[in-house]
């Protein structure tokens, strides 16, 4: 395939995933700047873009200790790319996966979340067979209602299972405030995040008082980093969306700019106020709603998605064949649909980066 580097954006075939280099670099600088000199440091979440080049730039921007990811397959991609400190912020189960995890831990510092003694035992046995040591974070439930043991005695009990067990290393706790990231009112978000983390920090202190050192508590997000990142007892912030952003997160963390868009073409103008674009559900993450048009984020211009169409109403006078940049409601599930991202600067493509971690089921 011919290289598109140097082409004008208008020359790209559609749909194409775009990244505005200047905006994304400002996002990296803004986040790294917040954490400069703080006790808590960044561990950016790879799930946002799944692109190792972008992950390396997040690390190079500073104030970062490693990368977070959601799946073993992503961790393998990161280690393959030379990133040597990776947290899988999730439970890894099943014999084949646990063996892969143990093998990966021979090549890099790998940590994984656990919330049950059976997971600990399975990982420890696999690691003993592989001759490696896997770092474990006990995931503590702080209100999201997803994975995690309850704070206090259940977490202490699990820590006792880990400490001293060959093949695994007790590294601390994970607590994710996912139920609070979309609280619109900033003061309420702040109050509820402090409240949610209090039991996790108390659990840390209890584990330490029982003689088991806790290296980290890892948690946080793009809309809570400035709150969670200031709580005494939290060392790592797993913010994900901030490099690319999307229109949903822009409403929650307006200090970051929307750098990601999907370039689409008007393929039909069946009525004066209606335009149909050549990307649909299969090219736009949409859990938080349909996309918006770049430059018209606040306009009353509703879009409807079907599999391969995006139908806009009350649109401007976009001619047939013209190009429109769409901003998705969810950048993480959008990036996962593409194999590469076109990085552009002043209207020209300056780089094309693969999303090596996208489309990986495991």
Ligand X SMILES: Cc1ncc(COP(=O)(O)O)c(C=O)c1O
Instruction: Give the separation between CA 145 and CA 287, rounded to whole angstroms.
Output: 19
Cis omega (within 30 of 0) on the bond before 165?
A: no
Residue 111 or 125 having the CB closest to ligand X: 111
Options 54-62, 130-138, 175-183, 336-344: segment touching ligand X (CB under 6 A): 175-183
Of residues 165 and 204, the one with the C-beta less far from ligand X: 204
CA distance 125 to 107: 18
Instruction: Give me the least distance between CB of 324 and ligand X, in Å please.
Output: 25
Q: Which long-range contacts (CB under 8 A, 24 or more apart) does 320-323 make?
A: 320/266, 320/267, 320/268, 320/269, 321/265, 321/266, 321/267, 322/265, 322/266, 323/9, 323/10, 323/14, 323/263, 323/264, 323/265, 323/266
Q: Report the residue number, 179 or 309, with the smaller CB distance to ligand X.
A: 179
Nearer to ligand X, 24 or 176 (CB): 176
Do 177 and 228 form a contact (C-beta atoms < 8 A)?
yes
Site for ligand X in 215-254 (CB under 6 A): 221-222, 238-241
Nearest-approach distance from CB 144 to ligand X, in angstroms:
9
Q: Cβ of residue 47: shortest distance to ligand X, in angstroms?
A: 6
**CB neighbour list of residue 298: distance below 8 Å, 6 or more residues apart:** none
Locate all alpha helices (DSSP H) within 66-181, ordered by sequence: 72-80, 95-104, 117-130, 153-162
Q: Which of 24, 46, 176, 338: binder of ligand X (CB under 6 A)?
A: 176
Question: 245, exposed or middle or buried, with CB in 10 Å at 0-12, 13-18, 19+?
Answer: buried
Distance, first Cα to last Cα, the chain: 29
Would strands 274-277 and 310-313 be described as parallel, antiparallel, or unpaired?
antiparallel
Confirm if 171 and 188 have CB atoms less than 8 A apart: no
CB 178, min distance to ligand X, A: 6
Nearest distance, CB of residue 176 and ligand X, angstroms: 4
**How many chain residues touch ligand X (CB under 6 A)?**
12
Q: Which of 87, 88, 89, 102 binds ligand X (CB under 6 A)?
A: 89
Closest by Cα among 288, 292, 329 to 314: 292
Q: What would the x/- binding string for ligand X be over residues 20 to 59, using CB under 6 A? A: -------------------------x--x-----------
Least distance (Å) between residue 241 CB and ligand X: 4
Residue 47 has a CB neighbour count (10 Å cut-off) of 21
When binding is defined by CB under 6 A, the residue of 120, 181, 279, 341 that contacts ligand X is 181
Pattern of binders to ligand X over 121-160, x per CB under 6 A?
Answer: ----------------------------------------
Q: Which is nearer to ligand X, 241 or 261 (CB)?
A: 241
For residue 315, the minimal CB distance to ligand X (Å) is: 29
Q: Which residues bind ligand X (CB under 6 A)?
A: 45, 48, 89, 176, 178, 181, 221-222, 238-241
């Amino acid at each position: 395939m011919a290289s598109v580097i140097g082409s004008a954006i208008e020359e790209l075939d559609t749909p194409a995933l775009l990244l505005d280099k200047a905006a994304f670099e400002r996002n990296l600088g803004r986040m790294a700047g917040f954490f400069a000199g703080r006790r808590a440091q960044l561990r950016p979440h790879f799930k946002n873009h799944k692109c190792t080049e972008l992950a390396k730039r997040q690390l190079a921007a500073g104030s970062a200790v490693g990368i977070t990811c959601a799946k073993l397959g992503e961790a393998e991609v990161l280690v393959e790319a030379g990133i040597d400190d990776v947290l899988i912020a999730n439970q890894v189960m099943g014999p084949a996966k646990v063996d892969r995890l143990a093998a990966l831990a021979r090549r890099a510092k790998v940590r994984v979340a656990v919330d049950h003694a059976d997971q600990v035992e399975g990982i420890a046995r696999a690691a003993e067979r592989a001759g490696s040591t896997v770092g474990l974070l006990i995931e503590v439930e702080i209100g999201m209602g997803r994975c995690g043991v309850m704070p206090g005695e259940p977490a202490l009990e699990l820590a006792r299972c880990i400490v001293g067990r060959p093949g695994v290393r007790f590294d601390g706790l994970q607590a994710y405030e996912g139920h609070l990231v979309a609280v619109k009112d900033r003061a309420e978000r702040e109050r509820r995040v402090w409240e949610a983390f209090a039991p996790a920090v108390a659990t840390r202190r209890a584990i330490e008082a029982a003689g088991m050192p806790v290296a980290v508590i890892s948690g946080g997000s793009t809309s809570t980093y400035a709150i969670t990142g200031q709580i005494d007892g939290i060392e790592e912030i797993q913010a994900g969306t901030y490099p690319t952003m999307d229109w949903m997160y822009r409403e929650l963390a307006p200090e970051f700019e929307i750098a990601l868009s999907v370039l689409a073409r008007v393929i039909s103008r069946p009525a004066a106020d209606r335009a149909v674009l050549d990307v649909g559900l299969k090219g736009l993450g949409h859990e938080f709603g349909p996309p918006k048009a770049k430059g018209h984020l606040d306009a009353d211009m509703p879009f409807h998605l079907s599999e391969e169409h995006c139908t806009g109403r009350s649109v401007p006078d976009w001619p047939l064949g013209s190009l429109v940049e769409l901003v998705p409601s969810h950048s993480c599930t959008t990036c996962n649909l593409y194999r590469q991202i076109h990085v552009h600067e002043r209207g020209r493509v300056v780089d094309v980066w693969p999303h090596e971690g996208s489309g990986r089921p495991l």
